[in-house]
Amino acid sequence: MIKKTIVLLTLLTMNFMAIANSMQGQPAPSFNLQDQSGNQHQLSDYQGQWLVVYFYPKNDTTGCTIEAKAFRDHYEKLQHMNTAVLGVSLDDAESHKAFISKYDLPFNLLVDANKSMSRDYGVDGGMAFFSYAKRQTFIIDPQGMIARHFEEVNPSTHVPQVLEALNALQSKSAKAAKASDVQVTEQTEDWRVYGAPWPQEGLAEQPLQEVLAEAEQAAGETRMMSGRITRVCQKKGCWMILADGDEFVRVDFNDHAFLIPKDASGQAHVYGQLVARELTAEQIAHFESEGAKGLKGKQYEIIADSVKILN
């Protein structure tokens, strides 16, 4: 009996120590689960608002109770921030009902009895004879993207961290919303500039092929790079593909700091930094849904401060 207990505790400890790959920046996996009252919940139900999904191991245990009560005590503030809260564990509906009743929890708890949602979010833990959801939290934005993934959670201090992250994310989102219209910064008969004003220090413009030929040395340096626009994000105009010969890179407009017309084409100059980036399969699929083609897992991108499109 003692040996079995030691083995169980060892496996449990190893599971808690294992750190999953962060899902931050990826589309949130869809789900379709019932809550404590048998009502169905889907990710699409929360489109247009922020959503906190917190996974926890078991109802009415010390850490899970501390965490649930903290979400309860800050729930009114979360509502004012247009944020819904869902707790998820492998417990059954009756256990959820009792837990909610005992601590007067104002939010729903989802029943993930077959671990489908836990697996999709990478938080399923334990072994066949002892399963649980790892204690991790996801903040999902109104567009259904995982804006923040908390992989290590201290129940006593976690909810203030969630509130702090939400404040920062919503502030950033509000700034992006102000820039939701395409705005020309400067223009002449020959060109239009989007983003920051075009620099006047007289840096030489380099063809993209030349920059990529010395990519390791060029990475991280601010440069002026030239090429032709072959594709623009068809949802917002928040990125483009810059090509030169057979070479091409995705140009990110500094995390939606500015937009360009979705029908933009022709020759362009970009002021920004070349960076190495590793894309996940989910990120590639997301960009492809916006019109990108031919992206690779490992590649270079340009983070642009401004874009000059020639007329």
Using only C-alpha atoms, what is the Rg of the chain? 24
Residues with Cβ within 8 Å of 213's Cβ and at least 6 positions away in sequence, in order, are none
User: β-pairing, 130-133 with 266-278?
Assistant: unpaired
Q: How far apart are CA 144 and CA 146, in angstroms?
A: 7
Q: Catalytic residues, which ones? A: 64
Residues with Cβ within 8 Å of 62's Cβ and at least 6 positions away in sequence, in order, are none
User: SS3 helix, strand, coil % of the chain, rounded to 5?
Assistant: 30, 35, 35
Give 206's strand partners.
Answer: 225
b/e burial code for range 61-94 (CB count within 10 A of at least 16 → b) = eebbbebbebbbebbeebeebebbbbbbbbbebe
Give 56's strand partners.
Answer: none
The answer to whether 82 touches 48, Cβ cutoff 8 Å, is: no
Q: How far apart are CA 221 and CA 271, in angstroms?
A: 10
